[in-house]
């Protein structure tokens, strides 16, 4: 505060107005700036006037209490403030006065310092310089500047001016009092040192004051100049500072750039390391692969060598083969000869087969196309139990003679193709009948039928029992057996039908139940071939299938009657086997039929006493059997008309009776004396058939001729067999040669394919090797490029670092110079 006081003798007090302010000393005026008048009270013997004599400024008041406000704190609760503020007291008697100025900061009570700074001039002399009340005492606290000596001249004016340095000046009170005259002795003599001669000069206070004022003015002027210089230097400093900041910023930028470069460099380093690692890996793999390839190539080369050797071997073999071509040609010619021979032999075979067939047929025909066998059953248990006598003698059965004791010693002799005694079994019967099976397969129609009285064994002979099969089973078995044997040269298509003729009606025993009632007729489909339209023809491929079908037919027959035997004796059971053959050698096709017929009991012929249904049955059986006899008789007599159509039986058998067809009649008889009538009847019927049909001429066939035929047949068969053997051997030889040639050919082909495959593999591997080498080259080039880029970067980074260092040094030099300049300036100052 004291540094702010510009007038000698003035002082400051940091508290409010008190009695100590010497009010008794001739007060002139006390103005309450910005406030009203305050009357003297208590100890204070002072009238304070309301604000007056001012020019400019505004009034401000506060209710805040004034700390250390003294005896009249209200003086500080009001103030005048503002720019261009001044007070002018007129009519003051000339003389010396003391002025007390009272201040309090009641506006900017919360600071900060420097908000209000001002100078105070009295009589145009600065008495207070840059006063900041707040910075000295704070807010709402009084500050007094007292005893500012003022001289009033003749004009009687005291003029006070408040000049703001920062903000507007403020004042709370102005106290003007008359100063006592200072005694002369009290005028203090001061000594001043002469600048020129260094002598001490005595000067009075007033003189000193004037000098001080003058030197103050000089100093102030000097200060102004220094201030201007300082401002200049500050500006320079600012500029230097700004350039330093710019340099720093530039430096920062460069540092950042450097960092970025460094970072990128690091990244590049990493990438390079990675690539180096990859490259190393690739190189390593390349080396491994190279080794593998080298091994593979070695291997391939070895294989190629081997293959070349094989190739040359094959080449030689091929040459050898080529050399053997003439031999091969010879062989081909030989084979062609063989083939020609084979064809010739085939032709001959055909001829021989035809001949054989013809001979066989002739042999059979020699035996007779219609043959009659007679079979006698044994006495039944019942017959034996009642002591029945046998009336049949088989002592000459071997020659086909049969003697029947008719009454007493009367005997009747019958002659047949074969006579079977009761002891003869099914095998014996079939042994003679089996020849006909071959004829069926050769394309001839065959008819085997059993004729005889009921209970004489017709069904036994034809069907037999499960343990002892009859003609039907054995014939079919033989049929399939021969067909199987001939399958290389002939294919057979076999089907069977089962029929029943009862009361002149045909019933299909294989048909379904609804069709059973359907009336069936016989139609001629082609020359002499009879057919029953709508009849079931079951295709069979083996004996089992055929037998199953026949059994199904037998079962169906049983459905028609409660008693099978009863029914069987009153109807004709007819099995028809159709054989369609195709000769694979000459493509000849044939179709033949085998009829196996179990006729109704013949005793009905004689019994005329029956009535009704039985009579009708008997008449029908009678008619059909005599029609059969008539047909056979006419055939034997070679009549122009054969009455086939007189019965369903003969009509059905039309294509199997007569012509080239073979017929075998099995006459079944009973040995019992009780059946002698029926036996003689059957034998007479059979004799009529046989006798008429064969006739004495045919029967007396020349046995020598027959033997000749047989020998010829055997010879032909023998020749055929040997030719067939030779043929087979030739064929085998040819096939052998052909097979060998094929094997060699295939071997050569395989080797060639293998060689080609290996060659293509080698080519692809070489290509792969080439591509990998190229890739490796590219990778090494890439690596080189990247290395170059990296070294470039490194160089740039080095350059930048260098530059940065230089810039840093330059900046620090600049800064150093500036600091030196400022320091020099300050020192000078
Ligand atoms: N050669 C034989 N050996 C043994 N038993 C036989 C012989 N022939 C027939 N029999 C027996 O005689 C009986 C009658 O035979 P089967 O039924 O075959 O006669 P059939 O002539 O067919 O009679 P039907 O005309 O009534 O059909 C059967 O029990 C049969 O076993």
Give φ, ψ of 171 to 5 degrees: -150, 140
Verify whether ligand 1 is closer than 6 Å to residue 565 (CB atom): yes
Kindly give the pairing relationship between strand 523-526 and strand 27-32.
Answer: unpaired
Enter the ipTM. 0.97
Verify whether ligand 1 is closer than 6 Å to residue 209 (CB atom): no
Instruction: Please provide the DSSP assignment of 585-641 as one string.
Output: TT--EEEEEEEEEEPPPGGGGT-----HHHHHHHHHHHHHHHHHHHHHHHHHTT-S-
Domains in the chain with CATH codes: 2-181 (2.60.120.430), 368-701 (3.40.850.10)
730 vs 328: CA distance, rounded Å: 15
Instruction: Please provide the DSSP assignment of 306-373 as one string.
Output: HHHHHHHHHHHHHHHHHHTHHHHHHHHHHHHHHHHHHHHHHHHHHHHHHHHHHHHHHHHHHH-SEEEE
Of the candidates 642, 607, 657, 602, the one whose C-alpha atom is nearest the C-alpha of residue 624 is 602
Q: Whose CA is nearest to atom 18 of ligand 1?
A: 457
Task: Kindly report whether the peptide bond that precedes residue 599 is cis, defined as omega within 30 degrees of 0.
Answer: no
Is 650 annotated among the ligand-binding residues? no
Atom of ligand 1 minimally distant from the CA of 601: 25
Q: Whose CA is nearest to atom 31 of ligand 1?
A: 460
- 559, 571 Cβ separation under 8 angstroms: no
- 669, 414 Cβ separation under 8 angstroms: no
Atom of ligand 1 minimally distant from the CA of 600: 25
Q: Whose CA is nearest to atom 9 of ligand 1?
A: 457
- 662, 436 Cβ separation under 8 angstroms: yes
Is 457 annotated among the ligand-binding residues? yes
What is the tens place of the pLDDT at every residue in 322-339? Answer: 676 666 677 777 767 777
286 vs 776: CA distance, rounded Å: 8
Verify whether ligand 1 is closer than 6 Å to residue 454 (CB atom): yes
Q: Which two tokens stand for residue 609?
A: 């006493």
The length of the chain is 829
Q: Hey, which residues does 599 pair with through a beta bridge?
A: none
Kindly give the pairing relationship between strand 538-540 and strand 490-502.
Answer: antiparallel
Is 807 annotated among the ligand-binding residues? no
Verify whether ligand 1 is closer than 6 Å to residue 571 (CB atom): no
Verify whether ligand 1 is closer than 6 Å to residue 470 (CB atom): no
552 vs 550: CA distance, rounded Å: 5
Verify whether ligand 1 is closer than 6 Å to residue 144 (CB atom): no
Atom of ligand 1 minimally distant from the CA of 376: 1
Atom of ligand 1 minimally distant from the CA of 375: 1
Q: What is the pLDDT of residue 703?
A: 42
Report which secondary-structure segment, H or E, holds 689. Answer: helix 676-699
Task: Tell me the C-alpha to C-alpha distance, in Å, between residue 305 and each of 308, 526, 762.
Answer: 5, 78, 13
Q: What is the pLDDT of residue 816?
A: 77
Verify whether ligand 1 is closer than 6 Å to residue 455 (CB atom): yes
Q: What is the pLDDT of residue 737?
A: 67
Verify whether ligand 1 is closer than 6 Å to residue 672 (CB atom): no
Verify whether ligand 1 is closer than 6 Å to residue 456 (CB atom): yes
Is 453 annotated among the ligand-binding residues? yes
Verify whether ligand 1 is closer than 6 Å to residue 378 (CB atom): yes
Verify whether ligand 1 is closer than 6 Å to residue 457 (CB atom): yes
- Residues with pLDDT less than 50, the chain: 186-187, 559-564, 604-608, 692-706
Q: Which two tokens stand for residue 822?
A: 């400022």
Share the mean pLDDT of the chain. Answer: 81
Ligand 1 centroid–CA 456 distance in Å is: 5
Q: Whose CA is nearest to atom 10 of ligand 1?
A: 457
Verify whether ligand 1 is closer than 6 Å to residue 668 (CB atom): yes
Is 530 annotated among the ligand-binding residues? no
Ligand 1 centroid–CA 429 distance in Å is: 15
Q: What is the pLDDT of residue 60?
A: 94
Atom of ligand 1 minimally distant from the CA of 568: 27
Verify whether ligand 1 is closer than 6 Å to residue 682 (CB atom): no
Q: For 447, which DSSP code?
A: E
Q: Which two tokens stand for residue 593?
A: 């039929």
Atom of ligand 1 minimally distant from the CA of 420: 1
Ligand 1 centroid–CA 648 distance in Å is: 25
Ligand 1 centroid–CA 620 distance in Å is: 23
Verify whether ligand 1 is closer than 6 Å to residue 134 (CB atom): no
Number of neighbours of residue 731 by Cβ within 10 angstroms: 14
Ligand 1 centroid–CA 467 distance in Å is: 15
Q: Where in 24-137 does DSSP place strands (E)? A: 27-32, 49-50, 54-55, 58-61, 78-81, 85-89, 95-104, 117-122, 125-131
Is 456 annotated among the ligand-binding residues? yes
Of the candidates 493, 350, 454, 498, the one whose C-alpha atom is nearest the C-alpha of residue 675 is 454
Report which secondary-structure segment, H or E, holds 172. Answer: none
451 vs 474: CA distance, rounded Å: 19
Ligand 1 centroid–CA 425 distance in Å is: 13
């Amino acid at each position: 505060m004291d540094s702010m006081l510009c007038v000698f003798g003035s002082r400051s007090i940091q508290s409010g107005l008190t009695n100590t302010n010497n009010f008794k000393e001739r007060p002139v005026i006390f103005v309450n700036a910005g406030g009203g008048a305050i009357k003297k009270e208590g100890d204070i013997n002072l009238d304070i006037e309301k604000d007056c004599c001012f020019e400019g400024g505004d009034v401000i008041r506060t209710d805040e209490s004034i700390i250390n406000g003294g005896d009249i704190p209200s003086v500080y609760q009001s103030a005048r403030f503002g720019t261009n503020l001044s007070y002018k007291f007129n009519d003051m008697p000339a003389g010396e006065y003391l002025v007390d100025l009272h201040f309090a900061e009641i506006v900017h009570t919360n600071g900060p310092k420097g908000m209000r700074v001002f100078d105070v001039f009295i009589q145009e002399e600065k008495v207070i310089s840059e006063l900041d009340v707040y910075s000295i005492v704070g807010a709402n606290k009084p500050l007094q500047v007292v005893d500012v000596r003022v001289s009033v001249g003749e004009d009687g004016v005291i003029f006070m001016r408040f000049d703001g340095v920062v903000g507007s000046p403020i004042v709370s009170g102005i106290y003007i009092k008359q100063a006592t005259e200072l005694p002369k002795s009290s005028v203090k003599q001061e000594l001043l040192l002469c600048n020129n001669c260094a002598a001490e000069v005595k000067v009075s206070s007033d003189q000193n004051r004037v000098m001080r004022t003058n030197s103050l003015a000089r100093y102030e002027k000097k200060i102004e100049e220094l201030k201007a210089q300082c401002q200049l230097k500050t500006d320079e400093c600012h500029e230097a500072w700004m350039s330093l900041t710019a340099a720093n910023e530039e430096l920062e930028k460069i540092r950042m750039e450097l960092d970025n470069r460094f970072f990128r460099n690091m990244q590049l380093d990493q990438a390079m390391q990675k690539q180096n690692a990859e490259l190393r890996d690739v190189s390593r793999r390349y080396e491994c692969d190279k080794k593998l390839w080298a091994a593979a190539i070695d291997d391939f080369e070895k294989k190629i060598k081997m293959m070349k050797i094989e190739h040359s071997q094959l080449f030689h073999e091929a040459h050898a083969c080529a050399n053997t071509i003439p031999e091969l040609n010879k062989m081909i010619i030989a084979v062609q000869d063989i083939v020609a021979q084979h064809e010739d032999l085939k032709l001959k075979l055909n001829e021989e087969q035809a001949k054989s067939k013809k001979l066989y047929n002739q042999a059979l025909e020699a035996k007779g196309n219609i043959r009659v066998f007679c079979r006698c059953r044994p006495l039944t248990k019942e017959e034996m139990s009642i002591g029945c006598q046998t009336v049949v003698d088989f002592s000459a059965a071997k020659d086909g003679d049969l003697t029947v004791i008719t009454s007493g010693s009367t005997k009747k002799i019958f002659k047949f193709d074969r006579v079977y005694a009761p002891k003869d079994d099914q095998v014996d019967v079939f042994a003679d009948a089996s020849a006909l099976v071959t004829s069926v397969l050769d394309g001839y129609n065959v008819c085997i039928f059993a004729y005889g009285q009921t209970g004489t064994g017709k069904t036994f002979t034809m069907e037999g029992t499960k343990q002892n099969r009859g003609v039907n089973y054995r014939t079919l078995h033989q049929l399939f057996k021969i067909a199987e044997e001939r399958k290389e040269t002939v294919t057979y298509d076999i089907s069977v039908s089962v029929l029943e003729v009862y009361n002149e009606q045909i019933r299909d025993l294989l048909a379904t139940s609804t069709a059973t009632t359907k009336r069936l007729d016989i139609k001629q489909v082609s020359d002499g071939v009879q057919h029953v339209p709508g009849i079931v023809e079951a295709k069979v491929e083996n004996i089992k299938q055929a037998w199953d079908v026949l059994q199904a037919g037998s079962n169906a027959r049983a459905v028609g009657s409660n008693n099978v035997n009863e029914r069987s004796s009153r109807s004709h059971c007819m099995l028809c086997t159709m054989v369609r053959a195709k000769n694979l050698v000459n493509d000849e096709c044939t179709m033949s039929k085998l009829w196996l017929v179990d006729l109704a009991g013949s005793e009905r012929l004689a019994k005329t006493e029956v009535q009704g249904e039985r009579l009708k049955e008997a008449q029908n059986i009678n008619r059909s059997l005599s029609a059969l006899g008539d047909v056979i008789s006419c055939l034997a007599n070679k009549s122009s008309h054969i009455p086939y159509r007189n019965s369903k039986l003969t009509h059905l058998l039309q294509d199997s009776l007569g012509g080239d067809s073979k017929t075998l009649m099995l006459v079944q008889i009973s040995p019992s004396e009780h059946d002698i009538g029926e036996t003689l009847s059957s034998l007479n019927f059979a004799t009529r058939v046989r006798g008429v049909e064969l006739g004495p001429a045919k029967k007396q066939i020349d046995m020598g001729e027959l033997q000749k035929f047989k020998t010829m047949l055997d010879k032909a068969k023998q020749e055929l067999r040997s030719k067939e053997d030779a043929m087979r051997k030739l064929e085998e030889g040819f096939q052998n040669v052909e097979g060998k040639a094929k094997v060699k050919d295939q071997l050569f082909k395989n080797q060639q394919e293998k060689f080609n495959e290996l060659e293509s593999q080698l080519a692809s591997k070489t290509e792969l090797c080439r591509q990998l080498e190229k890739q490796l080259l590219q990778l090494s080039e890439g690596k080189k490029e990247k290395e170059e880029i990296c070294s470039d970067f490194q160089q740039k980074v080095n350059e930048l670092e260098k530059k940065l260092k230089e810039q840093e040094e330059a900046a620090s030099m600049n800064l150093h110079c500036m600091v030196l300049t400022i320091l020099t300036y300050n020192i000078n100052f």
